[in-house]
């Protein structure tokens, strides 16, 4: 039975989608059969970060409405074995997807994949509820700015109220010189959000460059943020990697 991890953020612009893609890619590179699901219904951008823009023919709605199975709808990455992708529908709203059908989709994914990574939309609206309802673990992606940290704390409270007790924090786009000017630290952010830290990812121009090159970050470069995300994936699989 596979694990289901939902990637969340209290606000947009934290790098949640690129983090979901990077972590999924790293888990696949470590040998785990991994499904990455875009749950940002109506917008979808996960395919760009995965380098799978040409693989969005079938989507969540096709599975939820019984036209195809999860196995039939998910597309394997052309360059990264073990990585599979399921797109979000563009011309739908979260309210159009039946929550029981979505739960059935995730249950089927548990049977097929070691890890299912759900990229939830930013905020705590209907799409957030749809994506998080069946998750075992939630990872909140936050940056060092005050609004992001505050919204991450509210997101953690919402997740706990939904019954998700395993809530982790990923601090993204860390630029230490800027943090010193703002008198911000990793410990401050952890204390403010109340979530367990799973990783710190440095600010790195390779992240948008990889997306522009239509490549997963882990295949594009072997340093910087790519190695930070690889450490997160190793922690997810149970390794004790110092942060």
Contact predicate 17/49, CB 8 Å: yes
CATH value at residue 31: 3.40.50.300
177 part of a folded domain = yes
- 177 against 76, higher pLDDT: 76
143 part of a folded domain = yes
Work out how many domains the chain is built from and give that number. 1
Q: Map residue 202 onto helix, strand or coil.
A: strand
72 part of a folded domain = yes
φ, ψ of residue 65 in degrees (nearest 5): -95, 10
Report whether pLDDT(229) > 90: yes
88 part of a folded domain = yes
241 part of a folded domain = no
Q: How many CB atoms lie within 10 A of CB 230?
A: 22
pLDDT, tens digit, for every residue of 120-158?
A: 999 888 999 999 999 999 999 999 888 999 999 999 999
- Count of residues making up the chain: 243
pLDDT, tens digit, for every residue of 11-33?
A: 889 999 999 999 999 999 999 99
pLDDT, tens digit, for every residue of 28-86?
A: 999 999 999 999 998 889 999 999 988 777 999 999 999 999 999 999 999 999 999 99
Q: How many CB atoms lie within 10 A of CB 196?
A: 12
Strands, DSSP E only, in 149-232? 166-174, 196-202
242 part of a folded domain = no
Report whether pLDDT(117) > 70: yes
Tell me what pLDDT residue 150 has. 93
Name the residue range of residue 91's domain: 3-236
Distance CA 55, CA 86 (A): 8
Report whether pLDDT(193) > 90: yes
Tell me what pLDDT residue 10 has. 85
Distance CA 18, CA 7 (A): 10
Report whether pLDDT(98) > 90: yes
Report whether pLDDT(186) > 90: no
Distance CA 25, CA 221 (A): 13
Tell me what pLDDT residue 180 has. 66
Cα 234 to the chain's mean position, in Å? 15
207 part of a folded domain = yes
CA distances from 152 to 159, 178, 183, 218 (A): 10, 20, 19, 26
pLDDT, tens digit, for every residue of 156-174?
A: 999 999 999 999 999 999 9
243 part of a folded domain = no
Tell me what pLDDT residue 179 has. 66
For residue 181, name the pLDDT band (cuts at 50, 70, 90). Answer: low
**Residue by residue, what is the 3-state secondary structure of 102-132?**
HHHHHHHHHHHCCEEEEECCCCCCHHHHHHH
Mean pLDDT of the chain: 93
- Tokens representing 55 are 């693989």
């Amino acid at each position: 039975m596979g694990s289901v991890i939902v990637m969340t953020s209290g606000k947009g612009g934290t790098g949640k989608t690129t983090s979901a893609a990077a972590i999924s890619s790293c888990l696949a590179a470590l040998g785990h059969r991994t499904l990455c699901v875009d749950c940002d219904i109506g917008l979808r951008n996960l395919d760009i970060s995965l380098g799978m823009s040409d693989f969005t023919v079938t989507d969540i709605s096709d599975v939820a409405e019984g036209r195809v199975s999860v196995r039939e709808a998910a597309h394997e990455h052309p360059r990264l074995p073990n990585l599979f992708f399921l797109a979000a529908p563009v011309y739908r709203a979260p309210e159009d997807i039946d929550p029981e059908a979505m739960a059935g989709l995730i249950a089927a994914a548990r049977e097929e994949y070691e890890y299912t990574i759900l990229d939830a939309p930013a905020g705590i609206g209907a799409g957030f509820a749809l994506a998080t309802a069946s998750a075992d673990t939630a990872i909140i992606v936050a940056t060092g700015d005050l609004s992001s940290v505050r919204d991450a704390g509210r997101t953690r409270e919402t997740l706990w109220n939904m019954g998700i007790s395993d809530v982790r924090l990923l601090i993204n786009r860390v630029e230490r010189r800027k943090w010193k000017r703002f008198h911000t630290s990793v410990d401050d952010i952890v204390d403010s959000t109340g979530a367990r830290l799973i990783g710190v990812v440095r600010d790195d121009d390779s992240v948008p460059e990889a997306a522009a090159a239509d490549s997963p970050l882990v295949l594009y470069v072997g340093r910087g943020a790519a190695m930070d995300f690889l450490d997160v994936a190793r922690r997810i699989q149970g390794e004790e990697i110092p942060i």
